[in-house]
Amino acid sequence: MPQTPAVTFCAVTRHFGPVKAVDGVDLTVAEGAFFAMLGPSGSGKTTCLRLISGFERPDHGAIHIFGQDVSAVPPHLRNVNTVFQDYALFPHLSVRDNVAYGLMVKGMGKAHRLAKAEAMLDLVKLADYGARKPAQLSGGQRQRVALARALVNEPKVLLLDEPLGALDLKLREAMQDELKALQRRLGLTFIFVTHDQGEALSMADSLAVFDKGKIAQIGTPAQIYTQPATRFVADFVGSSNLLPPALTLALGGPAQWASLRPEALRLADTGPISGVVQSQRYLGTGTRINLTLNGTDLAAFVPAGSPVPAEGSQVTLTFAPEALHLLGDAP
C-alpha cells in the first residue's frame, strides 16, 4: 500500500499585494524524508515553509499534511513544529524549562513534562545543561535547545528555517552532520529551508530549487547538480560554466544552452578549449583558473597537488563528452 505523503502542495499560490511570493507550486514531500527548499532571497522557499506551519494561508490551492487538508487549519492544530534561525529561546527560563514550555502550554503536568524535556536534552547531547540559562550556552548549544524544544512536542513534520545560519563555518558543518544523524534516528520528516547550496546538497535526500515563486527543479542532490534543468539551476547550485548555443556547437554539441562544471575540465596537451589564464584562485582543495573562449568566461578546477598554470600562460583543456549537459532553456 502506497505511503501517504508527509506534505503536498496542490497549485498553491500566495500573493503579497502585486507580488506572487508563491506562484502555483505543486510539491510532494515523502514521509521520513530530509527535504530541502533551496533558493535565493525572495524566491518563495520561506513563504512555503510558513504555509506548511500555518503562519501564512494560501490564496489559491490546497496544502495537505499526511492527507489532511490543512489550508484553513490554524498553526496550533497542525502537527508540525518550526526551528528558527534566531532560536527564539526565553532568556529568563532555564534550558529545561525552555524545552518543556510547549508541553506546559498544552497542560501537561510538571513532573511529566520535565521528564520529557530531560529525555529530549539527552537526545541532543545536552543532558547536563538543563539548569543553565540560554545566555550561558554557545550558539551551537542554543541551536540544539531550540531543536529539542521543537521535538519534545512529537511533531510529525519538523520545519527548519535556516537554523544554522548564525553559526560559524566549522560549527555549522558539525551541526549538519548531527542534524542528519538525528533525522535518521527519529525517522521524522524534516523540511529544511536554506539559501546555502552546500547545506542542501550535503544534507537532503531530495530538494526543490526555487526561483521567483516557482519551483525550477526537484530531484536528488546528485540529479540537481549533475543534471540541472535550466541556466538558473546550473548557475545557482554549485559553480558551472554556462555555454551559449554557439559555443556548445563549437565544442561538439548541438546549438543549445549547456552546462559544463569546472571540475569536468582537465588540462591536456590537446583539446577543444584553448586560451590564456586570466586569473587564478587558491581554494585549498585545488585552484580555480579562469580564461575566456569566444567571449565566454570559463573556469576550470586544478586539484591540489597538480601543477597550476600561471596567469598569462596559454592552456589547453579537454572534457569527457558526457560532462557537457544540455539545458532546457530556449536557444
**What are the tens digits of pLDDT across the range 146-160?**
888 888 888 899 999
The fold of the 241-326 domain, in CATH, is OB fold (Dihydrolipoamide Acetyltransferase, E2P) (2.40.50)
d(CA 185, CA 179): 10
User: 260-272 burial string, b = 16+ CB within 10 Å, else e?
Assistant: bbbbbbbbeeeee
Do 65 and 229 contact (CB within 8 A), yes or no?
no
**Closest residue by Cα to residue 290 from 320, 310, 307, 268:** 310
Determine what percent of the chain falls in helix, strand and coil, rounding each to the nearest 5: 30, 30, 40
User: Which pTM does this prediction carry?
Assistant: 0.88
How far is C-alpha 6 from the chain's CA centre?
A: 18
Strand ranges inside 175-272, DSSP E: 189-194, 206-211, 214-219, 241-243, 258-260, 266-267
The domain spans of the chain are: 7-233, 241-326
**What are the tens digits of pLDDT across the range 157-206?**
999 988 777 667 777 777 788 888 888 888 899 999 988 888 899 899 99
**What are the tens digits of pLDDT across the range 237-247?**
988 999 999 99
Cα radius of gyration (the chain): 24
SS3 category, 266: strand
Sole residue written with cell 554557545: 138
Domain 241-326 in the same topology as domain 7-233 = no
pLDDT at 1: 55
pLDDT at 323: 94
**What are the tens digits of pLDDT across the range 70-108?**
999 999 889 999 888 777 788 899 999 999 988 888 888
95-105 vs 110-123: helix axis angle to the nearest 10?
Answer: 130
Burial class (CB in 10 A: 0-12, 13-18, 19+), 307: exposed
**What are the tens digits of pLDDT across the range 52-66?**
999 999 999 999 999
The fold of the 7-233 domain, in CATH, is Rossmann fold (3.40.50)
| Planar angle of CA 262, 267, 269, nearest 5 degrees | 150
H or E stretch covering 128: none
When pLDDT is averaged across residues 234-256 and rounded to a whole number, the result is: 92
